[in-house]
Amino acid sequence: MRRGLISWSRDEVPVSVLESRLAALQARMREEDLGAMLLYTSFARPSAVAWLTHFVPYWNEGLLAVLPTGAPTLLAAFSKRMHGWIRSVSHVGEVRSVSNLGREAADLVGRLPGAPRIGVLELDTLPWPVAEPLLDSGRRVLTDASALFASVRQPADETEIRLAQRAADIAARALGSIPIEATRTSQVLAAVEASARLDGAEEVLARLAPDLGTGTALRRIEGDMPLGARYALELSIAYKAAWARVVRSLSANAPQSWRRAQAWTSQWATGITGVAGGAPPGAIAFWTLEACVGSQPFSVVGSAIGPRGTVSAGTLACYSIQLQLQDGPWLSGGPVVVGGDGPGRLLA
């Protein structure tokens, strides 16, 4: 659950940036002859609406209605009492408190002149309570607009890259706060949580492989577990709606092989769409490349077993890799701005 700082700094996320993102989407909508676009947001799917408006619905849900011109309307399943808070953290036109998002959205698009097509981000996965009244109203043709949205979502602008850099820095400091003598998962998780939240993190999601000697699965820890001599921690940090995911293998006695692995991985990650950094120091057990292209903070855009689509230069992504070194498994990962003709840029 979201429980960290949610605030909007106009210096860090200028209104002009949000409006330029919206304008890019509206231009594509006009090209595709869409009369409106609907974008769903919830705790699980906050990213598209946050990217356009800086609004994050913490525990609730909403639907953003974007017309080809003008400011978007936010339909929010919040009471009117929350309008002040919504206004303070986001840049939208009208805010409406509604009890039924789908029905209100159906009414809204139903009043549009003519018979325009309505684009819906991730139409297939729209939660049924929202989708049902929209579909049953039968007043407008709904079309999936996920590809359209993805076409404007990346490459990332410098504002988002700076926020992701800040998130990566928060993660780095959190990793540095882990007591060297930690022997339990609870010590690790408490330390990173305190550090990241006091540093202004909006969200901290941690998965931990407690003992690389027995397994590499990054687990959501319930309760407490002993740490092995070598363990790995994945931190997904949100800062002002931008996310960075960092994975590190940790040990009080880190072997030399890990340093070589990190050096190779940095080369590999920056050349992820180009030439890899020579032979890896161990077998590549698995890798993924994740980027924000829709409503979720991360989507898998490449992995060892697919998909293998082209990721455009300038995309803000996070790589994760697992190497099988001679002395055991090693996990790493971090945010990277994917390179084009030149190398990419590592943010952590």
The footprint of another protein (CB under 8 A) covers 1-7, 42-45, 58-59, 61, 79-82, 84-85, 123-129, 131-132, 135, 185-187, 189-191, 193-194, 197-198, 200, 204-205, 207, 215-224, 234, 236, 286, 288, 296-300, 303, 307, 320
Minimum distance, C-beta of residue 169 to another protein, in the bound complex (Å): 17
Task: Determine the residue type at 308.
Answer: R
Task: Find the farthest-apart pair of alpha carbons in the chain and give their distance in angstroms, rounded.
Answer: 69
Nearer to another protein, 159 or 185 (CB): 185
Minimum distance, C-beta of residue 40 to another protein, in the bound complex (Å): 10
Read off the tokens for 36: 């409106």
Nearest by Cα to 166 from 44, 43, 5: 5
**Distance between CA atoms of residues 157 and 22, nearest Å:** 13
Nearer to another protein, 162 or 207 (CB): 207
Q: Which residue has the tokens 């959190």?
A: 174
Residue-wise DSSP of 267-297: HHHHTTTS---SS-SSEEEEEEEEE--SSSS
Minimum distance, C-beta of residue 113 to another protein, in the bound complex (Å): 26
Contacts made by residues 175-178, CB under 8 angstroms, sequence distance 24+:
175/233, 175/235, 175/246, 175/248, 175/250, 178/233, 178/250
Nearer to another protein, 165 or 322 (CB): 322
Nearest by Cα to 38 from 129, 117, 152, 137: 117
Nearer to another protein, 26 or 47 (CB): 47
Phi-psi category of residue 41: left, alpha or beta, with phi > 0 → left and psi -120 to 50 → alpha: beta
279-295 exposure pattern, b = at least 16 Cβ within 10 A, e = fewer: ebbbeeeebbbbbbbbb
Minimum distance, C-beta of residue 138 to another protein, in the bound complex (Å): 13
The secondary structure element, H or E, covering residue 322 is strand 316-325
Minimum distance, C-beta of residue 6 to another protein, in the bound complex (Å): 4
Minimum distance, C-beta of residue 329 to another protein, in the bound complex (Å): 12
Nearer to another protein, 22 or 121 (CB): 121
Nearer to another protein, 214 or 253 (CB): 214
Do 30 and 67 meet the contact criterion of CB atoms below 8 Å apart?
A: no
Enumerate residues 6+ apart whose C-beta is below 8 A from 204: 4, 174, 192, 193, 196, 197, 235, 236, 237, 238
Minimum distance, C-beta of residue 302 to another protein, in the bound complex (Å): 10
Nearer to another protein, 166 or 343 (CB): 166
Minimum distance, C-beta of residue 128 to another protein, in the bound complex (Å): 4
Do 123 and 142 meet the contact criterion of CB atoms below 8 Å apart?
A: yes
Nearer to another protein, 127 or 314 (CB): 127
Nearer to another protein, 267 or 299 (CB): 299
**Distance between CA atoms of residues 75 and 98, nearest Å:** 6
Minimum distance, C-beta of residue 220 to another protein, in the bound complex (Å): 5
